[in-house]
Amino acid sequence: MSRTSPITCIEDLRVIAERRVPRMFYDYADSGSYTESTYRANTADFAPIKLRQRVAVDMTNRTLASTMVGEPVAMPVALAPTGLTGMQHADGEILAARAAAKAGVPFTLSTMSICSIEDVAEATGRPFWFQLYVMRDRDFIDRLIGRAQAAGCSALVLTLDLQILGQRHKDIKNGLSTPPKPTIRNLINLALKPYWCLSMLGTQRRTFRNIVGHAKGVSDLSSLSSWTAEQFDPALNWDDVKRIKDRWGGKLILKGILDPEDAELAVQSGADALIVSNHGGRQLDGALSSISALPAIVDAVGGRMEVLFDGGIRSGQDVLKALALGAKGTFIGRAFLYGLGALGEQGVTLALDIIRKELDVSMAMSGLRDVTHVDARILARNPYAVARP
């Protein structure tokens, strides 16, 4: 695709990002674990969901305004927590947070971000959400929560599906590291990515700044590598969730729910919301796609907790389908990363604009004017409906 061609969809941004972002970081964003079957299903499983087209209905005065965990949003879309965002583009977390603020949607900062909590808070001056991984070093986790509180983060997103790391073949083969190791292969690849290299020359943020200088014994890249290799806690359990909820004291969102039994436990934990997610197909390959798992979880929750959705969204129409299947709001990850890698902050803004327009038009053609009224009535066919005895 020529850079001068109009950018009309998320796929256009992906093509540009693939050309501009170094291979190891592009592959980190655009890959799954093992055979990548769940990664592919996350997007493919939207296609069998069909919409009812309605005609001769009043399509004036439409609104996409809604709420997510009680916060007003311009549309029911948030930027998902994504690791190494600042390696898709220099200062990527800051740029994405600014774009989200302009669009009136939440931004979620990952524990494994390149820009720190303090970096984003200082640069944006606006509340954002913070995503937490549970590490073995509980003192570090308590301090991390305290830093999120001090920065004014308005919700904590606790990820539950990364107790152990799913094998991601591309990351292993690429020798993923941040910053890239100066191997001949990496140097050749970087030489072909001048846009990325020039942006990186203008920042000092090139490692995991939430961790380096904050975790005990982690002061440089070598100590960081050994620390992260042993820190994800395989013993994470529901008692830990309750402890973190008490320590946080604010709105808590549980990310990584894919089974109705876990949804019930999430309700019992007292959290404010859950996110139906399979970690972008980067953990258990062969697990259900997020969209096919969504209806059963909505059914299990039964309105007792807010259900949010993450996984495979590449268009506003995907957002509409997730809402029709019962999600209160949605998250986009790769869709905004493509924009970031392609065009920086402008690309994230463009990705959000594309999704907003597609959601608005598809909602109108389905006969509705208010996004909060979207439900299963707009579906012509739902292949993932919960079977009733």
Q: What is the mean pLDDT of residues 246-256?
A: 98
pLDDT in tens, 69-88: 999 999 999 999 999 999 99
> Is residue 110 annotated as involved in ligand binding?
yes
Residue 222: predicted pLDDT: 58
Q: Which residues contact 240 (CB under 8 A, 6 or more apart)?
A: 134, 233
> Is residue 159 annotated as involved in ligand binding?
yes
Q: How many Cβ atoms from other residues are within 10 Å of residue 262's Cβ?
A: 18
Q: Which residues contact 359 (CB under 8 A, 6 or more apart)?
A: 64, 75, 77, 316, 317, 319, 320, 371
214 labelled catalytic: no
Provide the mean pLDDT of the chain: 95
> Is residue 311 annotated as involved in ligand binding?
yes
Q: Which residues contact 305 (CB under 8 A, 6 or more apart)?
A: 266, 267, 271, 272, 273, 274
pLDDT in tens, 9-55: 999 999 999 999 999 999 999 999 999 999 999 999 999 999 999 99
Residue 345: predicted pLDDT: 98
> Is residue 256 annotated as involved in ligand binding?
no
Percentage of residues of the chain with pLDDT beyond 90: 87
The model's confidence at residue 224, banded by pLDDT at 50, 70 and 90, is: low
Residue 220: predicted pLDDT: 60
Contact 170, 58 (CB under 8 A): no
Using the predicted structure, report yes or no on whether residue 4 has a pLDDT greater than 80: no
Residue ranges of domains in the chain: 10-381
pLDDT in tens, 308-333: 999 999 999 999 999 999 999 999 99
Q: How much is the CA Rg of the chain, to the nearest whole Å?
A: 20
Superfamily of domain 10-381: Aldolase class I (3.20.20.70)
pLDDT in tens, 171-218: 889 988 888 888 899 999 999 999 999 999 999 999 999 998 898 878
To the question of pTM greater than 0.85 for the whole model, the response is: yes
Residue 3: predicted pLDDT: 56
The residue annotated as part of the active site, out of 89, 169, 214, 279, is 279
Retrieve residue 87's tokens: 């390696």
Amino acid identity for residue 269 in this structure: S
Q: Which residues contact 277 (CB under 8 A, 6 or more apart)?
A: 161, 255, 256, 257, 258, 290, 309, 310, 311, 331
